[in-house]
Amino acid sequence: MSSVAAGPEELRAARRLGAGLMWAAFIFSMFVNLLGLTGSLFMLQVYDRVLTSRSVETLTALFLLVSFLFLLMALLDFARGRVMARVGARFQTALDKRVFEATLRRAASPSERAMPVSALRDVEAIQQLFISPVLLALMDLPWAPFFMAALFLFHPMLGWAGIAGGVILVFLTIANQMLTARKVVRAQTASQGATFFAEQVRAGAEVVMTQGMRSVMTQRWVTRRIEGLEHVLAANDWTGSFSAVTKTFRMYLQSVMLAIGAYYLLKGQMSSGGMVASSILLGRGLAPIEQALGQWQVVQRARSSWLSLARYLAATPVYPPLAELPVPEARLVVSGLTVVPTGSRLPMIRNVSFRLDPGKALGVIGLSGSGKSTLARAVLGYLPISSGEIRLGGATLDQYEADALGRHIGYLPQNVTLFTGSVSENIARMSQSPVSEAVVAAATRANAHQMILALPEGYNTIIEGNANQLSGGQRQRIALARALYGDPALLILDEPNSALDAEGSEALNATVREFKAAGKAVIIMTHRPLAIAECDYLIVLENGQITTAGPRDQVLEKSVKNAANLRSKLQSDKVP
């Protein structure tokens, strides 16, 4: 499949959505900068006309006019700020869904799961640039030469002094970018590393607190935090020094302009009003440069995020929509399947082939690390396959849209994850409008209906994500109901007995029996032989390869020493 525009082109397309608004903000900036001459002109008129004529009426008229112009400038400045905020909102809205989906897809890679999720933060960093003062300062920057040119109207030396000062400030800005860019990136990377380590520790808090690791992990986090803080301080020292030099130099330059103006005033070559007005005019012309330099970290962070986000999206392209296929028959065919995880050279699954027909259950057994969960994720279409193919209902998995495939294959993972919402919403796979009949039907098939009714508010009980308000068995039954929601054709259960008691295991076996009786297929991944009571076939995985396969009892005879006793136990467990 060929991908449509990805990476930099997607970012440019999102930016173009606000192009019209940016032009409007630029036009507003033109008028704001024209109105920026108000203070200088007012000062010129006061010194050269009001003070010489001593006319209160002239002063009053000028003051009222200036008040109106400053009010108009404030309104236009406020308006362009609101416009730029909406440009940023359009940019973020255009990319949020795409980046979130890319993050979910990249989570299939173990190497990506080990990295902090930064793509969404990259979008926010770029969006912050649009609403920051620095972008408005950059819009004001093209008008700075006009203010400098106006200085020549008072005296050529004032104009040349202003231009020299502006060139020095521009040089400082370029030097700031060249000397601090890498320091800012290092500071961001170090801070993100400390944050990610803290998240790892939080996720493993139970182990940390019960295995005497609290002090060690705290010290490791503090070390990372201090390292990140040192990089932040180093970057801030450099940018702060440039900001301080720029601010001081601009104030000094205004004093220089007053000194030059005073000299030519004494020479009789300019008026007192021109002397004061030129100093104000210079400050107005240099203000965008100083403001841009003071906020340059925002630009650097946005630039770094733009490049990072472009690479991220380019590595996770968008594919054109697929034709919608009918509900598949519960027939699964796996041929020559090999799976090599991203970033690894060793395959986790090697040349695996099997067939599962409607109304049958397949057990996949093997020691921990033999590849059972990897096989389950490959059959789900979650992991990319290196070679071979997987067909469901005659079609390869890549012919189904991801969400459609998820509706056709129910999945109970080894580590159950629930999400913040009601029990009903979790069973309905977080649908915003769950179908009550389908929710209850799925819970009933999972033999969880009575258990859910016993909860404080039944199906409306709010679950706080993975908080420990439910037992492991309750969580697993709700997750099984979620797997059964929507009547999937294939059901994959990864270590389904891990958190179930005897009653829960019996209920699970009853669910598998009912599912098979409905003409559906089941795959059970387990290293516990007692979990395969309802399986018709077994395959034994070892190091990602099938070592034994066939009817359940034959495989047990070959693989298990006390096969006779185990078969007897399985038969007794299978009786409803």
Q: What is the pLDDT of residues 89-126, one digit of tens each?
A: 888 888 888 888 787 777 655 545 444 457 888 888 88
* Residue at 376 is within a domain: no
260: domain range?
A: 142-294
pLDDT at 521 over 90: yes
Nearest to 377 by CA among 99, 109, 113: 109
476, two tokens: 């697993």
pLDDT at 2 over 70: no
Could you tell me if 414 and 313 lie in one domain?
no
Q: Tell me the C-alpha distance between 236 and 508, whole Å.
A: 59
Could you tell me if 313 and 388 lie in one domain?
no
Q: What's the average model confidence in pLDDT over 452-470?
A: 83
Q: What is the pLDDT of residues 29-49, one digit of tens each?
A: 889 888 887 877 887 788 778
Q: Is the dihedral of CA 34, 35, 40, 43 positive or negative?
A: positive
Q: Tell me the C-alpha distance between 331 and 311, whole Å.
A: 39
Helix (H) or strand (E) holding 356: strand 349-356
What residues pair up with 550 in beta bridges, in sequence order?
Answer: 538
DSSP code, position 204: T
Q: Which residues contact 174 (CB under 8 A, 6 or more apart)?
A: none
* Residue at 375 is within a domain: no
**Residue 279: C-alpha distances to residues 67, 257, 273 (Å):** 21, 6, 10
**Residue 421 backbone dihedrals phi, psi, to 5 degrees:** 160, 180
pLDDT at 4 over 70: no
Q: Tell me the C-alpha distance between 143 and 146, whole Å.
A: 5
Burial of 71 from C-beta contacts in 10 A (0-12 / 13-18 / 19+): exposed
Helix (H) or strand (E) holding 349: strand 349-356
Can you give the CATH number for the domain in which 410 is found?
A: 3.40.50.300
Q: Tell me the C-alpha distance between 47 and 50, whole Å.
A: 6
Nearest to 135 by CA among 70, 73, 81, 75: 81
Domain count, the chain: 3
What residues pair up with 332 in beta bridges, in sequence order?
Answer: 356, 392
Q: Where are the beta strands (DSSP E) in 123-176?
A: none
Res 14: pLDDT: 86
Nearest to 508 by CA among 524, 521, 520: 524
Q: What is the pLDDT of residues 230-242, one digit of tens each?
A: 877 877 777 777 7
Could you tell me if 342 and 223 lie in one domain?
no
Could you tell me if 240 and 147 lie in one domain?
yes
Could you tell me if 426 and 290 lie in one domain?
no
Cα 292 off chain centre by: 28
Q: Tell me the C-alpha distance between 377 and 383, whole Å.
A: 6
pLDDT at 19 over 60: yes
108, two tokens: 């299939």
Res 357: pLDDT: 93
Res 115: pLDDT: 45
* Residue at 326 is within a domain: no
Nearest to 481 by CA among 510, 436, 534, 443: 443
pLDDT at 220 over 90: no
* Residue at 393 is within a domain: yes
Could you tell me if 290 and 351 lie in one domain?
no
Res 117: pLDDT: 55
Could you tell me if 282 and 168 lie in one domain?
yes
Q: What's the average model confidence in pLDDT over 469-478?
A: 84
Could you tell me if 481 and 566 lie in one domain?
yes
Nearest to 544 by CA among 369, 386, 356, 353: 369
pLDDT at 541 over 70: yes
Q: Tell me the C-alpha distance between 484 and 489, whole Å.
A: 9
Among 59-63, 277-281, 368-372, 492-496, the range scoring the smallest mean pLDDT is 277-281
Could you tell me if 310 and 338 lie in one domain?
no
* Residue at 26 is within a domain: yes
Q: What is the pLDDT of residues 200-212, one digit of tens each?
A: 777 677 667 755 6
Dihedral of the alpha carbons of 51, 57, 60, 61, in degrees to the nearest 10: -110
* Residue at 45 is within a domain: yes
Nearest to 484 by CA among 434, 429, 533: 429
437, two tokens: 């009949």
* Residue at 325 is within a domain: no
Q: Where are the beta strands (DSSP E) in 384-443?
A: 387-392, 395-396, 409-412, 421-422
From 277, 294, 311, the end of a domain falls on 294
pTM (predicted TM-score): 0.69
Length of the chain: 576
Could you tell me if 16 and 64 lie in one domain?
yes
Could you tell me if 395 and 539 lie in one domain?
yes
Res 5: pLDDT: 47
Q: Which residues contact 293 (CB under 8 A, 6 or more apart)?
A: 169, 172, 173, 176, 242, 243, 246
Using alpha carbons only, give the angle 156, 162, 163 rounded to the nearest 5 degrees. 90
The chain-wide mean pLDDT, for the chain, equals 82
Q: What is the pLDDT of residues 368-406, one digit of tens each?
A: 888 888 899 899 888 888 899 999 998 998 898 888 888
Q: Per-residue confidence at 529, pLDDT binned at 50, 70, 90?
A: low
467 SS3 class? coil
* Residue at 477 is within a domain: yes
Could you tell me if 286 and 351 lie in one domain?
no
User: Taking every pair of C-alpha atoms in the chain, what is the biggest distance, in angstroms?
Assistant: 119
C-beta contacts of 270-275 below 8 A and 24+ residues apart: 270/154, 270/155, 271/44, 271/47, 271/48, 272/47, 272/48, 273/43, 273/44, 273/45, 273/46, 273/47, 273/48, 273/49, 274/44, 274/48, 274/154, 274/155, 275/154
Nearest to 265 by CA among 455, 48, 540, 533: 48
Can you give the CATH number for the domain in which 225 is found?
A: 1.20.1560.10
